[in-house]
Structure 1
Amino acid sequence: MADQANLKIPLGISAGIHIGAIIILALGISFEDKPKPVPSAPSAPAIKAVVVDQQQIAQHVEKLKKQKQDAENKEKARQAELEKQANQARKAREQEQQRLKNLEIERKQKELETQKANEAAKAAKIKQQQEKELADKAEAARKQKEQEKLLAEQAAAKAAEKRKLEEAAAKKAEEERKQKAEAERKRKAEAEAKARQEQEMADALAAEQAALSQTRNRQVMSEVDRFTAMIRATIQRNLVVDESMRGKSCRVFIRLAQDGFVTSSQTLDGDQVVCRAAKAAINKAGRLPVSTEADVYNKLKEINLTVSPEFN
């Protein structure tokens, strides 16, 4: 039992040393004082030394732990600072990005506003131009209306003057018409009176002429009958007859000149023998009795006669 207890102490010291070495190596910390070698032969003085060294090691380990904790705390503080700085940098970067984004938005907004302003200016210019054109058109229309009004007034004045002249002319024409109508009425009255007188005279003359004409007609017809009988007698004198002609006749047409010369003759109908004899008698006579009076001659120049042979 005593041997086992003696073995546990060196083993514990060795294990502690190894653990401390491992911790030191893990922490990467070097110590200037190196531990003294442990005597290999166990003895009472060695055990004491090991206990002392173990206390020193424990102290040293605590120191190392404290240094490690301090280092960890510093590292945590440094990491916290770095994280803080990173957060600040991230925030700054985000703020810068937001600022740039805001600037881009403002730039786009300004561009949009500038575009809108340009478009508004362009639209205002177009509107101004349109308003100017409308104003010019309105002014031109106003001037046109004024010109038309002036021309209308001038035309109305001319029309009024023309109407006055026309009314005066119409009045004068009416007076002249009345005068002409009165003169025409008087002329017609005079003409009607004259016409009545002339008609009365004409009627009287016509009545007289009718009476004379009837008397003359009777005289003409008497002369026509007389000369017709003379012409028939002349034809009878030149007519060669025989018994075959007895009771027979021929109707002939004779055209005479003013001196009684037979210009043409034509048998119309009747006995052929009588007709030949009548035509021969007419040609033989050559000239037949006619009146020198024109009205009697006009009734004798073309005559139709019936020739009937006469026997003694």
Structure 2
Amino acid sequence: MNYIPLSDNAARQAIDSSTIFGEFSRVQAQARQYVGGMYWKQQGEYEYLVKTQLDNRQQRIGPRSPDTEKIYADFSSRKQAIEGRLSSLKDALKEAERLNKALKVGRVPAIVISILQALEAAELGEHFTVVGTHALYAYESAAGVRIAQGALATQDVDLLWDARRRVRFIADMARLETSVLCVLQRADPTFQRKEDQNETAISASGFEVDFLRRQPEGDDPHPFRFSDDEGDLWPVQAIRASTLTSAPRFEHIVISVTGRMAMMRTIAPEAFVEFKRWMADKAKQRPEVKRRRDRRQADIVQAMLDEGLLPLPR
């Protein structure tokens, strides 16, 4: 068998914990809009409402008036409500993670979850798509099955950078004032850029993160480094990456062996099947052992589609 269904207990826990994680993520995104605080500042005869940021920057909203008093009251009450709900959800999430681990609900490598969480925390998640073998974790989570371990084993994850969104990406990186490599180091401090492979970060345990991009089109920047940091990573042009860049997207919550969760953004299962079949049959100089794995992975995902375990395109 290439895959087997989750036990009833594990399947039920996966649904429950995913619901909690989804709500936690939604409220956490709301909370980002209320970082910092507001206070009244006296300046001479006038009193102004000031908005503060986490980095101590300040923004003057306006002189005290009925309108600014309402802004202050609405901000304060909304911030308090969101922080209270987020606190409760943090407790629920911690318990969900404990049950996930106890019931062996997930098996995504812990480092992959940490990487996805680090990208999301930096608000860079939408710029990267998981492609290759690790996409199978999203499909099996959505289908409620366990794929045979032999089809999954790999010590690297491929992240496709979307060059079509480069203007937004550059703005996001400027806001962060950091590098993509530094973001990865929040997941594992031992990540370093691999010698002679500027597109790859490797950890002390040998786990690799490869950053891919499509062949340059139109005004795509080339070559392109993620930030001004000379030690940062450069996404490499990958075979048929333009097909993956334009493929429909598929998102699903995935769970690690430790119970922690993350949202995985990948390509639609149909696009995965088509790409893997092309790699197996037409990719030049592809080692035969990888061709066999490509065919097996394509067959597994197609079988899940045929059984109705995965959603079909709308």
Task: Please state which band the TM-score falls in when normalised by the shorter chain.
Answer: under 0.3
Output the TM-score relative to the length of structure 2: 0.18
* Larger relative strand fraction: 2
Larger Rg: 1
* Larger relative helix fraction: 1
Output the TM-score relative to the length of structure 1: 0.18
